[in-house]
Amino acid sequence: MNSIAAVSSSSDAEIPQIPETVSPGYYYVTVFADAFDDVTESDENNNINKAPDQIHITPNCGNMDVAPTSWSTTIEHGHSDSQIVTVSASSGPVKGVTVSKISGPTWLSVSPTNLGDIASGSSKTFTMTASPPAGTSGDFTYTVRVSNTCGSPSPRDVTGTIHVKIPCGDMGVSPTSWSTTIEHGDSDSQIVTVSATGGTVEGVTVSKISGETWLTLSQTNLGDIPSGSSETFTVTAAPPAGTSSGDYPYTIRVSNSCGTPSSRDVTGTITVLCEGWSVRLDVTCGVGTDVVAEFGLNEAATDGFDAQFDVPLPPSPPPPYQLAYFYYPGNPVGVKSLITSYIPPDQECNIWPFQVGYNGDASDVTITWNADDIAAVPANCSLLFVVDSEEIDLRTTPSYKFSATTGTYEFEIRACCTPKCEGTNTSCGIYPDCENCTEKDGCYPYGNGCEERAYYCKSNEEGCDYTYSNRHTDEWVHTGNTRWVDDPENDCKEKKQKEQEYHNYSCSDGTCTDSITDTQWIDTGDTKSKPDGTICGCTANNTLKRCYEGTCTDTGICNSTNCSADVACDGKKPGESCGAGRICNSTCKCVSSIAPPEITSYAPDSPVNDNEGATRTFNISINQTVNVSWQIDGTIVQTNKSVTAASYTNTSAVIGTWNVSAIVNNANGTDMQTWTWTVTSPCFIATAAYGTPLHADINVLRDFRDEYMMPNPAGRAFAHRERRGARKTL
């Protein structure tokens, strides 16, 4: 509006166009009437007004998409699972994207929580990780919120349920193989240990999948086995009298309803012998008839002649002939020589005195032992054929040959059987190296920690093995303590931390024990906004910033306590009055509201050129009453008080180039006018010759003097002599 009539009013409405260069934020619209006091008014203090509400300028933002928005999983306690979530922007950028856990267990973490700005057509990701500690079980729901400061929609939630289960343990079975050799009518047994580690093994049952009826189990239902514990059952082989000799394979299955693996088999072979064992000998030569002899062990036999086992040697045939028999001089007449000889087992070695009688021409005689019979002899028995001092192993050598003439040849057969270890936890291994497995029980290193072991006999062949319990490695463990601390990434957020202790495990008196050697606080991923109104800093313009809905926002209010605003502007907004004729400027400084003084005109124009000794006057006019300071090269040469016009006159111009300044000031501010004043000496001779100092040729001579002669000592001396000489001449 151009004018308003006296005692009248006028109104106007404007729809401002906000420039694109204006940064997003909160602003006030301030109106100044008669900003330069061009109009005389009865009240000069009511020319400023501002809109009552802030204007919130926001950027043009796009659409925010989150995928997936639902994630559910099932995991075992002590394990972890994770899900990557993608946040994308379309149709424009999405700004200030943050991620926070609204609800859910503490062991559900989100990282990172600040995705920042996402350009249109781009995306960023964060990861949700569920790590339920050991002992956790059940269903846990959660809500993770993705928010933005500029975008649509805001917020978007990711929800779901995490089902945590306590896993079943690992089932161990030992031994998984057992074979034995027994005589019919006898029995043998094996204890089988079923152990659980890493969790309870549930519903353990034992069943015979294949095998003879005389192979029995002590129990078939072991029930649940807790972690670190074990149960046993006994497999018993008791072939009744009359059972045919031979090998009887079997399979016993140990199963569970919850455990890994779900079943393990125990397999083996039961070798049944009928009343001990026997070995057949075949004796052949180049003359006569081949003969057979047999020796063996039987618990029912005696050291003498036993009619039910032993067979006497028949009368000798006509020559040529050969005989093979076992000779016992202590037996009664007629049964001293036996073609079949059984003796009772001895604790150490059993001996058969064997003889070959030969009648005929010289010939080779071969004694061969039956390989199948040898294989049926228990492995703990060694079989030796002794010739003089030479011992021949019947298991590795199939026969013995020698040259014979008429006569008797004496040999010895030995079967030395060593006792077996019992196959129990206190007697395990191969005799005589039987071990007491339980003596090894105790604490052992495991990784960087330790474990407690309980040893048992896995089998005589495999020796001692163990199950473990209380196994630990050094680790950080949550104490259950939590705290909220300032989030360094957001002045208006707090983040949740949990306390951890470092447990150092080591063996002590046979037990795996721990000691706490360190503590630390780690982020849980949970954040929360500080209360609205919390001070969070200052702007560059010294207005106070406070937290609102988790965002540090400019209040637009000047503050001198926390910021560097003038005290007179404290609590005010830029543009508001801070005293008579003063307002708070954009940086919250209390300044005059009246425009500063201005030099409206000056003379002469700059630059100014004069000859040495000339008189020069400088003039200025000002639109306000001011004080004037005249300075030449920064040195004050004159002052004027309370004037609106001033001048300075110099009557003795000195050669040189000078900065002449007029500085005006009052309570409203300052202004300044500066002239560049160049004073040179006149060219006397040239001036006299041309009749005027203003001739163009004289300016050329003057420029040559000033540019080439005056800068160096010789030139200056010449010019000085020229001036003195010219004055005298003229």
Checking if the pLDDT of 379 tops 70, the result is: yes
Cis? peptide before 112, omega within 30° of 0: yes
Backbone angles phi, psi at 612, to 5 degrees: -55, 135
The enclosing H or E element of 434 equals strand 433-435
Cβ-contact 44, 581 below 8 angstroms: yes
Of 99, 95, 104, 26, the residue nearest 72 (C-alpha): 104
- Read off the tokens for 699: 């300016």
The enclosing H or E element of 500 equals strand 493-508
Q: Cα(589)–Cα(581) distance, rounded to whole angstroms?
A: 14
Indicate the range of 72-76, 278-282, 669-673 predicted with least confidence: 72-76
The enclosing H or E element of 463 equals strand 463-472
- Read off the tokens for 102: 């609204």
Segment 477-526, tens digit of pLDDT? 999 999 999 999 999 999 999 999 999 999 999 999 999 999 999 999 99
The 3-class SS string of 295-337 reads EEECCCCCCCCCCCCCEECCCCCCCCEEEEEEECCCCCCCCCE
Indicate the range of 154-163, 439-448, 452-461, 698-707 predicted with least confidence: 698-707
The enclosing H or E element of 688 equals helix 684-690
How many Cα atoms are found within 13 Å in the side-chain-facing hemisphere of 664? Answer: 26
pLDDT at 6: 62
Segment 700-728, tens digit of pLDDT? 776 676 666 666 766 656 665 665 554 44
Give the alpha-carbon dihedral of 22, 27, 29, 32, to 10 degrees.
-80
Residues forming beta bridges with residue 323, ordered by sequence position? 357
- Read off the tokens for 185: 């009518």
- Average pLDDT of the chain is 87
Give the alpha-carbon dihedral of 720, 721, 727, 729, to 10 degrees.
-160
Could you tell me the strand order of the sheet in which 493-508 lies?
475-486, 493-508, 511-529
Percent of the chain with pLDDT over 90: 63
pLDDT at 434: 83
Task: Output the pTM of the full model.
Answer: 0.34
Amino acid (1-letter code) at residue 112: P
Cβ-contact 502, 518 below 8 angstroms: yes
Backbone angles phi, psi at 618, to 5 degrees: -115, 135
Segment 356-375, tens digit of pLDDT? 999 988 899 999 999 999 98
Cβ-contact 451, 470 below 8 angstroms: yes
Could you tell me the strand order of the sheet in which 577-579 lies?
577-579, 582-584, 590-592
3-state secondary structure (DSSP) of residue 51: coil
Checking if the pLDDT of 212 tops 90, the result is: yes
Checking if the pLDDT of 729 tops 70, the result is: no
Q: Cα(413)–Cα(283) distance, rounded to whole angstroms?
A: 15
